[in-house]
Structure 1
Amino acid sequence: MWQSFVCAMVAAVTLQALNPFRTGNIVLYEVKYTRGWHGFEVVPFIILGILGGFYGTFLIRLNMKVAKWRRSRNASRPILEVVAVAFLSALINFPNIFMRAQNTELVHFLFAECGPGAEDQFGLCNKAGASLGIIALLLAAAVLAFFLASITFGLDVPAGIILPSVAVGALYGRALGIAFKMWQEAFPKAFLFNTCEPDIPCVTPGVYAIVGAASALGGATRMTVSIVVIMFELTGALTYVIPIMIAVMLAKWCGDIFGKRGIYESWIQLNEYPFLDHRDDTTPPDVLSHKVMTTIDDLTVIVAVGHTIGSLQTLLANTPYRGFPVVTETSNPILLGYISRNELSFALKYSAPATNRNMSGDTQVFFAHQPFADPSDTFDLRPWMDQTPMTLNSHTSFLVTLRMFQRLGLRYVLFSNKGILQGLLTKKDMWSLLSGAELREQENIAGNVFRQRNTAEEVGLLEGDEGDSLASPIERRQSL
């Protein structure tokens, strides 16, 4: 804790000394508001939260459709695609004054409070700034930026979604703030505005821009606490913690109605990365692990004795698996350990005994203690083998196995019964099972038995009419 404090202090002092933003501030969008917020403004803050949820939902769905369309094309021309999108962006951005500037500069002026001496590049603080024309330009810029963000996120260029979402949220937030300010100035004696002091501006549109930016970011990423902290770090607006929290929570709740995944989780699912999250909304299949594991009959195992360097090199060349269980013998496969592909390859190539560096392919190798073996004529691979791999009983429930993968970050689990190897489950198998369960929940298909599909990402699901038959373990091993 002390080291973290010292590092943070040094970083803050260095940032203040270098002044990279040329503003004298240590945060990018630091704002200083002279006025607080009123209770009646909770209503527009709620509206901004709901808008953020809808923004995130539509952004994710449109972006996923664009990404799937890109992958469905027969020919990929990334350079041409980037040039075309850049040209299209220039054509769309130029007519609108709010889209010509860089996102960082735009967000800075949208967050700023109007006051004497305040810089006003976009004319938001003059009398013409509070008009329907400005509101229309802001909303048009938000809509166009939404479509551009949906298209550009996922291109073969380094680009993110945080700053575009902040800019979109700030645009529609500032528009709502200006509209609310116009309403308050048109009816200053209305019951809703009784708490406003006379001759003092009551509504600050810049606050609405910050709240809108937080809501858009929360709707796109489905994060809560992290978004609030990020907004504090970017702006330093600690006074408005409650409005930001209201908008972020409502954005997440509204977005979760249409889908639990944020933009990053959606891309993880699209790329079929075996990420096992801790969400409780997907019910795992209520089966035992031996119903879904790859059985010993379909595993490629290594026996403790009887192999040579040449046979192991042939095994590595002919199989794509990332690791191999090591057993005593195939007729009585007592589990001795597990050796990964990388460890085995490195050991065979670089780790020959010092007494005999030039071993031939006929050199005997072993994974168990051989008291009469000659070290000059044999190769002991026990140091390269994991002799205590993660092992569970084959009758362990699938839920317990899933929790082990999630909490320990495992890549595989071996199943045994009284020391005899029964099978194996990998992280990819677990992800395939959960993806199939979630798909059937979304389709509202009744029944507890899974049917095997032909798609590679669903290999490992149960099949059959009796509920106790297995999907082809050979196909499942192809996806490991």
Structure 2
Amino acid sequence: MPTGQPKSPSIRTPAREDVPDHDDIAASDAAASGSKDQQTPSGAFKRNKKNTYGGPRFLLVPGYEAGTDYVMPSPRSQAFGPGDDNFLASGTRDESNDEHLKDGESLEWQAETPSRRVGYEDMTAIDWIFEYSKERQRLQVLRHNARGIFGYIREVLDSSQVWVVLLLTGVAAGCLAAVIDVASDWLGDIKLGYCASGEDGGHFYLNKYFCCLGFDGLSQCRDWISWKTTLGVTTGNASWLTAYFIFTISSILCAVTASFLVQEYALYAKHSGIPEIKTVLGGFVIRRFMGLWTLVVKSLGLCFAVASGMWLGKEGPLVHVACCCANTFMKLYGNINDNEARKREILSAAAAAGISAAFGSPIGGVLFSLEQLSYYFPDKTMWQSFVCAMAAAVALQAFDPLRSGKIVLYQVTYSSGWHGFELIPFALLGIFGGIYGGLFIRLNMKIAEIKKVATWLPSPIAQVSIVALLTALVNFPNAYMRLQSSELLYYLFAECSKVAHDPFDLCKIGSATGGTVFLLIIAALLGFLLASITFGLQIPAGIILPSMAIGALFGRAVGILMGIWVNTHPGYILFSTCEPDIACVTPGTYAVIGAAAALGGVTRMTVSIVVIMFELTGALSYVLPIMIAVMLSKWVGDAFGKRGIYESWIHFNDYPLLDNSEETYVPDIPVREIMTRIEYLVVLTATGHTIDSLSNILATYPYRGFPVISNAKNAILLGYVSRTELAFNLQTSRQKPRFLPPDTEVFFSHQPQADPQTTLDLRPWMDQTPLTISSQSSLQLTVTYFQKLGLRYVLFCDKGQLQGLLTKKDAWLVLNGAEECLNTVQDHRLKATARSPRDGQAIEERSLLSYDTHSPLIPLSPESSAF
């Protein structure tokens, strides 16, 4: 080692104590595999095991002697090391701004500008402030160079890139929705028979709807041949059993095919994808979740999943499909693809296009993205969402998959209005929707928790096949459950005066009415149970359409009962407003209101549901009853729990999303009671480091960032350097063209005497202006900063001196009831016994939010039990 360089420190066994984590955001790949940790009892929580060391952990140059002895533990095998192939996080380096630099030239000119070149790691949070600063800087350079006609053209082309991506996304989403509709309908009908129209039965590719198009009733259609007819079994119980057997086998084959595609080719194609999309829009990075391969598998698997007849829907997955399309088209333009904040604005618009293509409801899609998904939704994003949703609706309308002018099968219109006395059953449907939503979420999450810890369950594909078998056995005997969900909604929403053929006795009045009501209620109960089991399997599956179907089944039953009551007692004063020769009650409207109430109860959405239902029915007069039902369903559902189904799955998967619209109780306490104090932080000093010593630090400490201070005595905060930036620079400095030796001096502050050719200045790669607030601030203010600004961490200072740090993850743990009792946290930190990370797992490298199953439980006090 050259003269003047300090000597290596001695290594001894570190003292051990419980140290709070100060890592930046990361999370386990919970979408791909669940944790087997024990469940934390109610009213208590557990803390991750921590690395602990005696005294303040200021990382200085080797050999530096501070007031307390410096100790360093042995490097852990899973931490990054300078000799590892995976030393660097996967990312890209933008060298467009430093091509003119000479070897060793100072980079001080970059110190006040965004200078990061390394991409985000998987399962980490983005830096919203940096991304928008980078975009503002790019636009300033573009405007500065926009001189003359060519500069104006460049500006126009640059601004048009977003609109090209939005239009392509909308058109692709609409076309894919149409293709999925046609393919899933054909696969679903194949379970019952095939089309034999055309020469030599050449139109076998037509589903039952198109094969019998033009006939007054499907029963009169002779071109559709059932399998029992083909096999020559047309009479007796054998005919029914043959159809039952073929229906069951076909359902299982479709479900297993969809699950196999997901399990073997794209695991992120499972479920609806909306919880993950909401997390991504909140600033989280989940790589490969919106890739092209995920798009292909999701679209193809969705066709088979819907055709299987399981109680699932395609509306939620279509949002994922639209976002995958947007992510693919954004790769055409580096200005968009390289900026994570702009990408999320476009993904918000793509989500609106997904709902627009699913329901034929462009305005409802925009409101769905605003109300349910988007973390940040400025005015320009609303305009972009509107254009993208409109493009999707226009493309779907032009494709016209039903050849009827309707975008979706269950679009209906009503010629009659409602009466005042019907507000009572409408309100009851709203209460039913809230009860259904609350019970569904509890049952579904309980099943998910059992599956997470159970070791006796079969493989995911076997689970899907078992549920598909159970669903087919239950669906076939019930005529309503045997239908595809979209076809079922068509019959339930229909107005009796406009139905030429009533194959399911929904419009008959008499002795058959009691049996119809019974079958509708039984179908709703069985659908509730089957949907609770199905949502969460390794298969593309949404919950929007099943919830609407369950609510519509119950609502139609209530509407039929109301019609019977009015017909049997026409003289009641309640019914005095009914006209004598016109049906007083329209049962189809009860199905619509029931569907809206059930959807509101399970998702906790309000405005977007009302608008979607209005666009489906076109009946402005029914907006008020729908609003009343949705309002009551949300109130009743909130009595069971504030989280909707998507928020529940976000919490179940431990995604660290701080939703800025979520009504979360934040304790009114000083933030210093929960922040990680400086004596427990791993802090870098401004000078006294070498490339080798910093590489050892990265190999020893798996944290994703380090505060930088002036020195160990006064601890003046200079900035914050992320792990990826530090690792990238350390490795590239030892490669072409610089080839710096391992003992090269590294510093984070201005050193006028340093030779830029033989030293490494990391100031441009350090965040020199991190957000800092006083440690006397309240936790409520700090959480507001995290929610509104999208921060990853907040540093606390007193007159410039670093006092502590709080990460977004820490705030997430507190607000979700997983952090220690706030009024005893300091005593616990002083008295806790020593613990080290779990064997074979560096802190939060595999799982940021996996709780320590061996740490002592601290019961929550009554004052803090609310969170």
Q: Please state which band the TM-score falls in when normalised by the shorter chain.
A: 0.7 to 0.9
Could you report, residue by residue, the CA deviation over 1:139-192 in whole angstroms, capped at 9, with x for unpaired residues?
101001101111111122221211111111011011111111111111222211
How far has the Cα of 1:87 moved from its partner?
1.2
Specify whether residues 426 and 470 from structure 1 end up closer, same or farther in structure 2 by C-alpha distance, changes over 3 A only: farther
Q: Does 1:210 align with 2:592?
A: yes
Mapping of residues 53-452 of structure 1, within 5 Å: 53-74=434-455, 77-116=459-498, 118-127=500-509, 131-278=513-660, 282-350=664-732, 355-356=737-738, 358-436=739-817
Kept in 2: contact 1:326–1:335 (CA 8 A)? yes
Match of 1:41 in 2: 422
Residues 116 and 289 of structure 1: CA distance in aligned 2, closer, same or farther (over 3 Å): closer
**Alpha-carbon deviation of 1:126?**
4.1
User: Distance in 2 between the 1:153 and 1:88 partners?
Assistant: 14
Contact 2:410 2:487 in 1 (8 A): no
Shift of the 463–7 alpha-carbon distance from structure 1 to 2, 3 Å rule, reads closer
2:819 to 438, 458, 471: 458
Which whole-Å deviations, capped at 9, do the CAs of 1:251-304 have from their partners, x for residues lacking one?
111122222221122222222333334578654333211121101111112222
Q: TM-score, normalized by length of structure 2?
A: 0.50
What letter matches 2:753 in structure 1? F
- Where 1:158 maps in the other structure, the secondary structure is coil
Q: Distance in 1 between matches of 2:691 and 2:499?
A: 79
Please say which of residues 259-268 and 385-394 is displaced more in the overlay: 259-268
Taking structure 1 as the reference length, what is the TM-score of the superposition?
Answer: 0.88
After TM superposition, the structure 1 stretch with the greater mean CA deviation from structure 2, 311-320 or 36-45, is 311-320
In the aligned structure 1, how far is the partner of 2:831 from the partner of 2:510?
Answer: 71
User: Which segment is superposed worse, 265-274 or 33-42?
Assistant: 265-274
Q: Secondary structure at the match of 1:392?
A: strand
Task: For structure 1, list consecutive stretches of 5 or more residues without a partner in the other structure.
Answer: 437-456
Structure 1 residues 228 and 320 mapped into 2: Cα distance closer, same or farther (>3 Å)?
farther
Q: Quickly say closer, same or farther: Cα 1:279–1:353, change in 2 above 3 A.
A: same
CA contact (8 A) 2:673 2:825 kept: no
Query: Deviations for 1:299-344, whole angstroms, at most 9, x for unmatched residues?
Result: 1122222222232232223222121111122232211111222222
Deviation at 1:17, TM superposition (A): 1.9
Q: Is the 8 A contact 1:57 1:220 kept in 2?
A: yes
Instruction: Report deviation, 1:239.
Output: 2.8
Q: Is the 8 A contact 1:461 1:471 kept in 2?
A: no
8 Å CA contact retained: 1:165, 1:213: yes
409 and 65 in structure 1: CA distance in 2 versus 1, 3 angstrom threshold: same
Counterpart residue identity of residue 696, structure 2:
T
Question: Following TM superposition, by how much is the alpha carbon of 1:233 offset from its aligned partner in structure 2, in angstroms?
Answer: 3.6
Partner deviation per Cα, 1:387-419 (whole Å, 9 max, x = no partner): 101111111111211211121122210011111
Task: Provide Cα deviations, 1:446-469, integer angstroms capped at 9, x if missing partner.
Answer: xxxxxxxxxxx3258442697997
Q: Do the aligned residues in 1 keep the contact of 2:674 with 2:825 (CA within 8 Å)? A: no
Q: Secondary structure at the match of 2:773?
A: strand
Q: What is the rounded CA distance, in whole Å, between the counterparts of 1:124 and 1:44 in structure 2? A: 19
Change (3 A) 1:259 1:13: closer
With over 3 angstroms needed to count, the CA separation of the structure-2 counterparts of 1:194 and 1:5, relative to structure 1, is same
Q: 1:212 to 1:4 in 2, by over 3 A?
A: closer
Q: Per-residue CA shift, 1:33-88, capped at 9, x if unaligned?
A: 11111111101101100100110111011111111111111356212211111111
Pair 386,466 (structure 1): closer, same or farther in 2 beyond 3 Å: closer
- Please tell me whether the aligned partners of residues 177 and 209 of structure 1 are also in contact (alpha carbons under 8 angstroms): yes
Query: In the aligned structure 2, how far is the partner of 1:255 from the partner of 1:3?
Result: 32
**Alignment partner of 2:791: what SS?**
coil
Sequence identity (%) = 58
Change (3 A) 1:363 1:351: closer
Q: Distance in 1 between matches of 2:387 and 2:669?
A: 51
Contact 2:720-2:770 at 8 Å conserved across structures:
yes
Counterparts of 2:615 and 2:835, CA distance in 1: 51
Contact kept, 8 Å, 2:772 with 2:794, in 1: the verdict is yes
Q: Distance in 1 between matches of 2:723 and 2:763?
A: 14
Q: Distance in 1 between matches of 2:648 and 2:390?
A: 37
Amino acid at match of 2:399: L
Instruction: Please give the alpha-carbon distance, in whole angstroms, between the structure 2 residues aligned to 1:10 and 1:132.
Output: 46
Asked if 1 retains the 8 angstrom alpha-carbon contact of 2:602 and 2:644, the reply is: yes
Task: Give the drift of 1:351.
Answer: 6.5
SS at match of 1:463: helix
For the residues of structure 1 that align with 2:484 and 2:831, how far apart are their CA atoms?
56
Which stretch of structure 1 is more off in the superposition, 260-269 or 99-108?
260-269
Q: 1:119 to 1:379 in 2, by over 3 A?
A: farther
Q: How many residue pairs end up in the alignment?
A: 459
- Measured after TM superposition, the shift of residue 473 of structure 1 is 12
**Worse overlay, 120-129 or 295-304:** 120-129
CA distance in 2, matches of 1:30, 1:470: 65
Displacement of 1:234 after TM fit? 3.7
Would you say the 8 A contact 1:463–1:470 is kept in 2? Answer: no
| Contact 1:63 1:151 (C-alpha < 8 Å) held by counterparts | yes
Contact kept in structure 2, 1:85 and 1:152, CA below 8 Å: yes
Residues 138 and 172, structure 1, Cα contact 8 Å, conserved in 2: yes
8 Å CA contact retained: 2:721, 2:767: yes
By relative contact order (CA 8 Å, sep 6+), the higher-ranking structure is 2
Name the counterpart of 1:18: 399
Distance 1:314-1:278 versus aligned 2 partners, 3 A rule: same
Deviates more, 1:202-211 or 1:376-385: 376-385
Instruction: Look up the match of 1:441.
Output: none
Query: Counterpart of 1:330 in 2: which secondary structure?
Result: coil
Distance in 1 (CA, whole Å) between partners of 2:821 and 2:684 is: 23
SS at match of 1:17: helix
Letter matched to residue 492 of structure 2: L
SS across alignment from 1:70: helix
The 2-side partners of 1:4 and 1:271 are apart by: 28
Given residue 156 of structure 1, which amino acid in structure 2 is its aligned partner?
Q
| Conserved? CA contact 1:48–1:212, under 8 Å | yes
| Contact map agreement 1:53 1:251 (CA 8 A) in 2 | yes
